[in-house]
Amino acid sequence: MREIIVLFLVLAGSSDALVKRWNKYSDYNNAGNWGGLNRTPCPTDSINLGAVQPVSVYIQSNLTITELALPMTGEVILGPNVILDFPSSPANSDPSCQGVAPGQLAEFQVQTQEWFNLNNWEVYGSLADAQQGDVSKQVGALDIERIPCSSGGDTTGSYIRDEVLFPQDRTFRVNMGTQPLSLQKLNLAGKAYTSTNPFSDFLNTVSGRSQFNPAADRPTVNIGGSCTDVTGCACGNDAMKTVICAAVQCQDRGLQCDSPPTPQGHCCGICGAVLTIGYGDNFNFQNLQSYIQTQYLQQDKYRGVRTILSKSAVSRAGEVQLVLQDDAPGTQNGQTAAAMAQEVKDTLPAAGLGITAVEVEASAKGTSPAGQTGGRMGGGQIAGIVIGIIIFLVLIVLIAFFISRRSTPLELSLPKMPKMPKMPFNGKKSLTNEFEMGGATFSNPNFDPNSPDHFSLSYSGVEDLGSSKGFNNPMYDNPVEDNPMYSDTSLSGTMDPASVTTTPPTTPDGDPRDSGGIENPIYGVDNLQEVVMDAEC
């Protein structure tokens, strides 16, 4: 029965105003407000509350102090019956202060917290639960609705106006932004503000300036009024969704389903189902809430299903949204909610509530215990991917470099040969037995120094070399067999070196030449052709 009551509170809070409790404090006893100490001050510490910006510090219990510097601007609020003791020789009796050197500086360094950070709020269905602060009694809400719903300066009653609680006996440091805010009621320091002017007056006091927008202009805060639309009211925080979702790490939610749908007004996907419900005439938001409670949530098979019914300012006109989630463990998470969504789709249009259509988007059963990330990656995952890509690119470049080096022929650097000097022959056009090089001469052993520049050669015969002295190339004709000149035995004989004579050649007209020639024995005397070889360098 207790689970059913909690589900009803979730539904009721979606149309009526919820209570949003602030959970970040600028208290003396909050160890996180003391810089890098990670502890509250010890009796022997030198304590400095002298922040430059306005600050409000609430001291809840008695303190033993050696030295205390008060804030330059702001206030120090002592709790009921709190005593500050300044002994001449304080002792560090607290176990966490053992070994702390006397005179260590403890500086109060409270951080300003953002109004639109959903981690700074808790959501409850009633003021009594919010004042108690029991987190187990929190109710579900879309991410943008975890912040107090605000419609800016709207006065038409078309938006939800939530009740806000800043717990009693606490102090705060809040940046509310500069845009107008609209609230149903604001509870602060034990006092309930139900209209605009009294709270505006408070913001202009030392306490107000120290706790809200300490370093900036303060926004207009409209207090009072409520939703008057019977078809439901939107929260009004849709315009701030990007800012709100910046504080969310979806992978931290540890989804273990596949294909999680993302509801309108939520930062991440969910395991379960999102139903978009179209309505027409005679639709009433409260009636739909009651019907879901009595017809579905009281069935044993849907025990543990959590529901959020809402209306979005950015959805199509004539639509509301129903989000279903369950507490099933592991990869089964969301499956009971998905089954209920299908039944709602099949039966709700015929319930006589003015429902015209129901669309369902549900997650699938998880395939890995590791789960999904909800569609957003954290900084560690992004950094890992970037580093992996860089390493991959470096490897590709190195591989390409080594391949190109192996495929490029090696170039050998050989010494260049020096240029040979020109070899003049003393102005002679004929080849002699001596060469002149730079003034030096040397003898050519292939020539007789007494021989003439030209000489004649007489031929008296050709010696038969025989078949053993050569071979016929089958690729060519046989010159010996095919050429009659070579087959003529009359030309056979031997060359007698003694028969080689050098005689001065004559021209056809009988004039002797001034150079020698060679008689060709192959052609005979009658066919003697003169061959004159002039070598000129």
Residue 528 is predicted with a pLDDT of 40
In the chain, CATH 3.30.70.250 covers 256-362
CB 510: neighbour CB atoms within 10 A? 6
HSE toward the beta carbon, residue 151, CA cutoff 13 A: 23
Tokens matching residue 414: 């050989």
Q: Dihedral of the CA atoms 313, 319, 321, 322 (nearest 10)? A: 160
Residues 257, 366 contacting (CB under 8 angstroms)? yes
CB 461: neighbour CB atoms within 10 A? 14
413 has a pLDDT exceeding 60:
no
Residue 10 is predicted with a pLDDT of 38
385 has a pLDDT exceeding 90:
no
- Convert the pLDDT of each residue in 113-135 to its tens digit: 999 999 999 999 999 999 999 99
The C-alpha angle with vertex 309 and arms to 304 and 325, in degrees rounded to 5, equals 30
Instruction: Tell me the residue length of the chain.
Output: 537
Tokens matching residue 315: 């959805």
CA distance 92 to 319: 63
What's the Cα-to-Cα distance from 326 to each of 5, 256, 338, rounded to whole Å? 15, 12, 9
Q: What is the mean pLDDT of the chain?
A: 78
- Convert the pLDDT of each residue in 62-80 to its tens digit: 999 999 999 888 899 999 9
Superfamily the domain 256-362 falls into:
Malonyl-CoA ACP transacylase, ACP-binding (3.30.70.250)
Reduce the DSSP state of residue 506 to 3 states and report it. strand
Residues 75, 43 contacting (CB under 8 angstroms)? no
CA distance 173 to 209: 9
Give the DSSP H or E segment for 85. Answer: strand 84-85
- Convert the pLDDT of each residue in 29-63 to its tens digit: 999 999 888 899 999 999 999 767 789 999 999 99
- Convert the pLDDT of each residue in 238-288 to its tens digit: 989 999 999 999 988 889 999 999 999 999 999 999 999 999 999 999 999
Which pTM does this prediction carry?
0.66
CA distance 16 to 126: 10
**If we measure between CA atoms, which residue out of 111, 181, 134 comes closest to residue 21?**
134
310 forms beta bridges with 321
CA distance 151 to 496: 132
Burial 232-248 (b: 16+ CB within 10 A, else e): bbbbbbeebbebbbeeb
Residue 142: pLDDT band (50, 70, 90) is very high
445 forms beta bridges with none
